[in-house]
């Protein structure tokens, strides 16, 4: 079942890129911004946690 789902996702992604490459690029960039923002926020949290500046 997992293999079928993976193939469906891959086929859908290929269809999306071929059908509308500009929108696909926008979606990928938006996802990258979300992922990068989450990583940056986690880094900020741990930096403030270890430096003791939370709540000041």
CB-CB neighbours of 32 under 10 Å = 10
Q: What is the pLDDT of residue 38?
A: 97
C-alpha distances in angstroms, 31 versus 24, 35, 53? Answer: 11, 6, 30
Residues 21-47 pLDDT 10s: 999 899 899 999 999 999 999 999 999
The pTM is what?
0.60
Query: What is the chain's mean pLDDT, rounded?
Result: 90
Confidence class of residue 53 from pLDDT cuts 50, 70 and 90? low
- Of residues 46 and 56, which shows the higher confidence score? 46
Residue 52 has pLDDT above 80, yes or no: no
- Those residues whose C-beta lies under 8 Å from the C-beta of residue 48, and which sit 6 or more positions away, are 54
């Amino acid at each position: 079942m997992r293999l079928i789902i993976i193939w469906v996702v891959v086929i859908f992604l290929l269809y999306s890129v071929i059908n509308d490459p500009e929108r696909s690029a926008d979606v990928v960039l938006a996802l990258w911004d979300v992922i990068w923002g989450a990583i940056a926020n986690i880094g900020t949290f741990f930096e403030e946690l270890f430096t003791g500046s939370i709540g000041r």
